[in-house]
A and B are shown apart, each in its own frame.
Chain A
Amino acid sequence: MLKTFKIGGVHPEENKFSADQPAEVLDFSKQVIIPLSQSLGAPSKAIVEKGDLIKVGQLIAKGESFISSNIHSSVSGKVLKVDQVLDQSGYRRPAIFINVDGDEWIEGIDRSSEIKKEITLTKEEIVKKVHELGIVGLGGATFPSHVKLMVPEGKKAEVLIINGVECEPYLTADHRLMLENGEEVLIGTSILMKGLGVNRAIIGIENNKTDAIANLAKLALNFDGIEIETLKVQYPQGGEKQLIDTVINRQVPSGKLPIEVGAVVNNVGTAFAVYEAVQKNKPLIERTVTVTGKGVSKPGNYKVRIGTSINTLIEKVGGLPENTGKIVSGGPMMGKALNSIDVPVVKGTSGVLLFEEEEARRIEPTNCIRCGKCITVCPMGLEPVLIAQYAESEMWEEVEAERAMDCIECGSCQYTCPAARPLLDYIRLGKFKVGQIIRIRSKK
């Protein structure tokens, strides 16, 4: 029996159409827009101005607080302006607009394809490099990676878990990375191990990527302390807490971080970015993005410079199909619906999904039939139906008591509900309100 997490879970249709498409380098467009909020935490502060000439890899915005990250230019050219732009959040937020001119890189970045295996940097230097070069978690949450490498006082990291699960349907970017850049991923993993001071790493991969598993397993023979673990295909296997539960059989307590049970989790994409930063001195300026959908003629995976318009990606797969009804950034279970095709690709963009008109519309909700299916599938052991009802009746205390804050917003409940109740909408509202209440309470 393959390993999986112990509570709940669903198995949505996988629809990984682009699994066999090698990641292709996308030509960059005439203009890129680089948002200043690209990671969890405080937005970065722009250090360039209108008219500045910049090169690829140049630092253009600084993360000033502990939880924030540096941003580098993904292109060379001239800064057009620093202005508000409609980004993936659906809000207008500050960004740096750059008119592209040529492809000139700053000194010191190793652009050769040679693989550098020997890790010469010390533990401290690794953390510093990861911080300086703006590496963030590429699995979706975009948590600044240097923060994860700094184990808090009194805690001890025992094992590094690399998330190669890619449990979201449709997405194949991580899959391609593990196939095409397996060695770099493993070196990146070794670097992270050194940065954390652990001698054991486990890479968890779902069983629907057997070629990637075989590739990494073969390569891992040449690395110390890295194990490849084949996992059952079960959503949300890639949820941080679920993955830890699966591979090391420990459950992170409510409201606590993985380090509580001695684990640190990083995505395979992050491991690759760490490799590039530490071994090649390359900041995080591009990433692999899956562009796909049922109506898309040529679904594919693309290596994209950060700041490229999503529209450019869509053109690449044959343009927006006539009957497109929804565009999602990320996977279908947790991704965000976009309200424009002109928003830029950011560090956290793992995929662009085009939904046809009829898939885009939600099913009309009917009365809850109290089947309890939402409870059965919730991977956090919550009662979504109850939380949603309390939130609907604005009973925030009850929402909190029912542990709404534990909800990882995986969407399994709403996905499963036969009455198509908008459970997660209400749970999100509940979490938002409870979050406010908690903040007020802690101020008192």
Chain B
Amino acid sequence: MNLLTVSGSPHVHGDNSTKKIMYGVAFAMIPTLLVSVYFFGLDAIRVTLLSVFACMLFEWIIQKYLIKGPVTITDGSAIISGILLAFNVPSNIPTWIIIIGAFVTIGIAKMSFGGLGKNPFNPALVGRVFLLISFPVQMTSWPKPSALFNSLADAVTGPTPLGHLKEELKVGRTVQDILENGTSWTVDGINYIYKIPDYMDQLMGNLGGSLGEISALALILGGIYMLMRKIISWHIPVSFIGSVIIFTGILWVVNPDIYVNPGFHLITGGLMLGAIFMATDMVSSPMSFKGQLIFGLGCGVLTVIIRIWGAYPEGVSFAILIMNAFVPLINRSIKPKRFGEVAR
């Protein structure tokens, strides 16, 4: 007869697994990926594949040769970090910069803390911010999305709506003026005009920006999928986005000349990407729902502060990273409602 297994209860396990969660997240990113390919062409594929491949490779090398432990590159977490890193860079980024980004993401932000589950900060965001600080020029020249499968050569570099708005506000123009009339300038006798795309285009993704942040619609689609599969809960996205709307709404009501309306903040830049895919990373966000609400709120408020008064036009990445640092504190101070503690 066989030997019997003797182990403590429970003797059954639910069908939940780390792998399922990770691949679920990766699946939810597909709409966004498709939109980026549609607008940025083959470059989007190049950047994404490269980033994913580099992330997995670094993880494999570190686990196999440095840690000499089990190799877990197929658990899906390196794939997610790879895609998220790609989503956070412009499509025309040079290959070598992506590889550096992948190294920082996996080697520094993830493995040096002990691998999956041990990292305090969202790895892809650490990679992104590292690149932003080290290579500001390459990280902020955005190819203008235009047609399907256009090559890099004829892509025109254009600003992001948020960056453009911030620059123009600095020289004293009003929000209405910038949005309605656009900006024209002359270089070598040629007239250029840039006008911030209208809302429909922004929603669909037809605007300048990083690979994954251009289509709010595709991101929301992925978010709904993750909510339905219970991979994420609504708490972080809703409190994050909600606090951005409320905060910018108040400012807009106070002075619409220098503060743009909340709708603009909502669908431009990395807010959707950040709120749906980055801030919801389980490892680097609070465990309790209450903690998640606080976390999302903090992210939202910090995002607005940085966008409006900070040095960078976009504040989502910094906001999330700052709030990541507060997660241990939030986890420690928010205790779940204990059984029997409810006063009746």
A interface residue numbers (CB < 8 A to B): 6-7, 10, 12-13, 90, 169, 241, 245, 249-254, 256, 320, 323-328, 332-340, 353, 355, 357, 359-363, 366-373, 375-376, 378-383, 385, 403, 406, 409, 411-412, 414-420, 422, 424-425, 428
Q: Is B134 an interface residue (CB 8 A)?
A: no
B2 lies within 8 A of A357 (CB): yes
Secondary structure call for the A interface: loop
Between A and B, 5 residue pairs with Cβ closer than 8 Å are A7-B336, A325-B4, A337-B5, A337-B9, A337-B11
Specify which of B2, B6, B10, B20 lies most central, judged by the most chain A CB atoms within 10 Å of its CB.
Answer: B10
B interface residue numbers (CB < 8 A to A): 1-2, 4-14, 16-18, 20-21, 72, 75, 114-118, 282-283, 286-289, 335-342, 344
A366 lies within 8 A of B116 (CB): yes
A353 lies within 8 A of B11 (CB): yes
Instruction: Please give, as numbers and ranges, the residues of chain B lying within 8 Å of A424 by CB-CB distance.
Output: 8-10
With A375-B288, A418-B17 in contact, is A332–B11 under 8 Å at CB? yes
B335 lies within 8 A of A383 (CB): yes
B336 lies within 8 A of A375 (CB): yes
9 tightest A-B contacts by CB?
A: A372-B287, A411-B10, A367-B117, A381-B338, A371-B282, A360-B5, A418-B16, A332-B12, A380-B339
Instruction: Please give, as numbers and ranges, the residues of chain A lying within 8 Å of B117 by CB-CB distance.
Output: 367-370, 419
Question: In the assembled complex, how far is the CB of residue B339 from the closest CB belonging to chain A, in whole angstroms?
Answer: 4
B4 lies within 8 A of A338 (CB): yes
User: Residue of A at shortest CB range from B232?
Assistant: A371
User: A293 vs B96: C-alpha distance in the bound complex, in angstroms?
Assistant: 57
A406 lies within 8 A of B339 (CB): yes
A418 lies within 8 A of B339 (CB): no
User: A293 vs B289: C-alpha distance in the bound complex, in angstroms?
Assistant: 37
Which of B13, B118, B335 interacts with A367 by CB under 8 Å?
A: B118
Instruction: Please give, as numbers and ranges, the residues of chain B lying within 8 Å of A385 by CB-CB distance.
Output: 287
B336 lies within 8 A of A382 (CB): yes
Instruction: Please give, as numbers and ranges, the residues of chain A lying within 8 Å of B9 by CB-CB distance.
Output: 328, 332-337, 409, 411, 424
A373 lies within 8 A of B336 (CB): no
User: Residue of A at shortest CB range from B291?
Assistant: A372
B282 lies within 8 A of A380 (CB): no
Instruction: Please give, as numbers and ranges, the residues of chain B lying within 8 Å of A411 by CB-CB distance.
Output: 9-10
With A332-B12, A428-B8 in contact, is A7–B2 under 8 Å at CB? no
B4 lies within 8 A of A339 (CB): yes
A337 lies within 8 A of B4 (CB): yes
With A371-B282, A372-B287, A379-B339 in contact, is A418–B11 under 8 Å at CB? no
Which of B20, B282, B336 interacts with A378 by CB under 8 Å?
A: B336
Instruction: Please give, as numbers and ranges, the residues of chain A lying within 8 Å of B21 by CB-CB distance.
Output: 369, 371, 418
User: Residue of B at shortest CB range from A371?
Assistant: B282
Which of A10, A245, A249, A382 interacts with B14 by CB under 8 Å?
A: A10
Specify which of B8, B283, B286 lies most central, judged by the most chain A CB atoms within 10 Å of its CB.
Answer: B8
Question: In the assembled complex, how far is the CB of residue A234 from the closest CB belonging to chain B, in whole angstroms?
Answer: 14
Instruction: Please give, as numbers and ranges, the residues of chain A lying within 8 Å of B13 by CB-CB distance.
Output: 362-363, 414-415, 420
Known: A371-B287, A380-B338, A411-B10. 12 other contacts (CB 8 A): A251-B344, A254-B340, A325-B4, A335-B11, A360-B11, A362-B7, A363-B17, A375-B336, A406-B339, A409-B9, A414-B10, A424-B9
Instruction: Please give, as numbers and ranges, the residues of chain A lying within 8 Å of B75 by CB-CB distance.
Output: 366
Specify which of B4, B340, B341 lies most central, judged by the most chain A CB atoms within 10 Å of its CB.
Answer: B340
User: A411 vs B18: C-alpha distance in the bound complex, in angstroms?
Assistant: 19
